Structure 1
């Protein structure tokens, strides 16, 4: 059953909680929310059976976490902090895609993060992210939500956008592109300078997770960031098309986080 928590900035965040133990919050990337993401919920339920207290929440501006105005990274941090308070004041974060850069930014900015499990983080340093996200935001601010979403997805497999546009919920997906601002801000941050400097304050156990059938770019991104966070590791798990298989992912999250906080 959906529960709600109000952040220090006044936003109301919808979430589901499972189990007891060390805390783990799943941080979605651009797009997903609980109603359309059964994989994350199933993973959270299974990880909870293996000793964790897990939370899956709707990012601000999506699903049941209704929000208006500019939904920036500051509001996402406040949402995470409110959820961490429900778990005893600290938690590990499992980021998916651009949820990884949000999670890294949260740790680098001093949120009480105990560990980072990052699934296919798209943060190889390229120096062009600000230009790309700037155009997404210009279209967003002009009310061209379809154009903003199309531009956000321009370097993704073209069939992903085609499938989204054929979905009966596409109008909703496009309207919720306003929630991508925090994703964009975190991705720009991760590309704004030498990553060794950007991630200097990330000093918690960190694991980069990749699907066995992923894109070459994901391996390059993981390799780049691995070199900047002491003690971080990389692991391949069953998964394809930017998505993990539930059982092995849940088992690895439980193993990694229980060890990280012991």
Structure 2
């Protein structure tokens, strides 16, 4: 389908029975990361999974703005029937919350480990990252952009070097320009208090009980501290800690939790 600015946005209607649920991917996701989760929701929900702009078969009309990404999600919700529940992973959760604050026809919102920053040291690192990321992308250096992102996310230099030799690195290089889009969705890094206060829908915030071994450089409570801070700012928030290992939640665990929340 086509977004408001004419950008083609690719999506898959994975099921058609029940309330609509739209899945929003996070950083460096070409639209495939949420497919295993969709498999746990298709019996009871009309699940739509889409590729955010600049990813997969979706277009990438310039200049980028968060408002255009919100318009993309609005077009997907319209294609899904006009209203939908939404699930957003990581920075996709930040986009989902921004869309709800902007007044999109969203019923219930679930987000997993949105990487807002609370600690002042990390906020300083975030500001530095955004400057260096822009410089790397403007210089046409996707490899450096990916390295910058991995360092920010707590990866070790050994882990980064290993990733560069992995077959997936080529696909990640193609997605590197979208790192700037994810950064824009997170703004100055802090939870956006005024906009979160405008989100009147019920919001479920999930975090894992264990840290991601690929992000060992982050504080152990990085995601839980962010989710707790966001919950304090939302009018109708629910917090759940789930038994998952790593930043990408186990769909077999998260799926039933989401199904219960969307039908509560």
State the 1:168 CA deviation. 1.9
Q: Which runs of 5+ in 2 are unaligned?
A: 212-219
Write out aligned runs for 1:79-90 (5 A): 79-90=72-83
| 1:175 corresponds to | 174
TM-score scaled by length of structure 2: 0.86
Q: Which runs of 5+ in 1 are unaligned?
A: none
State the 1:229 CA deviation. 0.8
Going from structure 1 to structure 2, the CA distance change for 1:46 and 1:181 (only over 3 Å counts) comes to same
Measure the CA separation in 2 of the matches of 1:24 and 1:222.
22
Write out aligned runs for 1:63-212 (5 A): 63-125=56-118, 126=120, 127-128=123-124, 129-158=126-155, 161-189=160-188, 191=190, 195-212=192-209
Contact map agreement 2:206 2:240 (CA 8 A) in 1:
yes
TM-score scaled by length of structure 1: 0.86
| 2:221 corresponds to | 216
Contact map agreement 1:6 1:13 (CA 8 A) in 2:
yes
Measure the CA separation in 1 of the matches of 2:223 and 2:61.
33
Q: Number of paired residues?
A: 249
| 2:215 corresponds to | none
Alignment of 1:253 with 2:258, yes or no, is yes
1:123-177, CA deviations, whole angstroms, 9 ceiling, x for partnerless residues? 1334433442232122212212111221122222325634532222313312321
Measure the CA separation in 1 of the matches of 2:58 and 2:14.
19
State the 1:70 CA deviation. 3.6
Contact map agreement 2:200 2:234 (CA 8 A) in 1:
yes
Going from structure 1 to structure 2, the CA distance change for 1:148 and 1:166 (only over 3 Å counts) comes to same
Contact map agreement 1:61 1:71 (CA 8 A) in 2:
no
| 1:238 corresponds to | 243
Q: Secondary structure at the match of 2:60?
A: coil
1:53-88, CA deviations, whole angstroms, 9 ceiling, x for partnerless residues? 111112211122243534332331121011100122
| 2:42 corresponds to | 48
Going from structure 1 to structure 2, the CA distance change for 1:199 and 1:239 (only over 3 Å counts) comes to same
Higher relative strand content: 1
Aligned CA-pair RMSD: 2.0
Q: Secondary structure at the match of 2:35?
A: helix
Measure the CA separation in 1 of the matches of 2:163 and 2:96.
26
